[in-house]
Copies of this chain bind each other. A is one copy, B any other.
Amino acid sequence: MADKSRPKTRKDRIMDAALRIFAEKGFQSATITEISKEAGVSEATIYEYFGTKEDLLFAIPEKITNETLEKSTKVIPYIKGVEGKIRAILLFYVQLYQSNPHYSALVLLQLMSNKRFRQTPAHAAIRRSSHGLLDCIKDGIADGTFKKDSNPYLIRSMLMGTIEHLFIHWHMQGMPKRKTSIIDMLDPFIEIILDGIRTKKEESGLTLYLKMEDAHTFGKLLQKKDIEDTRGHSRKIKSDY
């Protein structure tokens, strides 16, 4: 609980400032001058730590992605069942995007369409994570959970595309506070897609959701916000999206 964060290093201050400003104004419109003022350092100091404005840009997702993936790889193996894993991975994304809006704005609005970003270690990490999701889907097809004729790449695009779309629009509308946060939409939308590719007959119901004990493990591992239950609850939602 104690604030173990000693006075932030200059480097961290720079990255924090840069994240905020890049996210708000875009990479090109952001200026090193502004970032340096926000970080309370001189412009030259920024170049001491990051050789280039673009290096600074790419350093931000690299740091965050690494931190996040580390957690993710520790947790996912403990989740039982293909669908649970899929839910867990998507939950990771949503939580990351939601808890760090500057980061999600940066990634979804700036970096997604940056070709050089794709040659970055940060993007490699993202690809790895995305590949993990794909593997879960393939496993589900292989073990008969999902229909044999499902296209796993398409499924993945549906899952990720929906999340990205939701966040992009949330950002573009100025991140309005809503009763129904995006995280609340996660289970309904996953359920729709999985329902569409499950080998029918079996009663979907609760067993398919991330189970109680899994969720518990999940929460502990994350050592963060409690995730008591990730079971689906598609309450009626009146979204002004």
Contact = CB atoms under 8 A, between A and B. Distances in A.
A56 interface: no
A169 interface: yes
B151 A234 contact: yes
A227 B239 CA distance: 34
Nearest to A112: B168
Interface string A155-177: 11110111111101101100000
Interface in A113-134: 113, 115, 118
A96 to B, nearest CB: 17
A40 interface: no
- For chain A, the bracket of interface size reads 35 or more
A234 B197 CA distance: 12
Contacts of A197: 192
Nearest to A185: B154
Given A234-B149, A238-B151, A158 B193 contact: yes
Contacts of A238: 151
A191 interface: yes
A153 interface: yes
Contact of A164 (B161, B171, B185): B161
Contacts of A164: 161, 164-165
A154 B112 CA distance: 22
A197 B109 CA distance: 30
Given A154-B188, A158-B158, A168 B113 contact: yes
A196 B191 contact: yes
Contacts of A160: 165
A224 interface: no
A199 to B, nearest CB: 13
Interface of A: 26, 28-29, 108-110, 112-113, 115, 118, 149, 151, 153-158, 160-166, 168-169, 171-172, 185, 188-189, 191-197, 234, 236-241
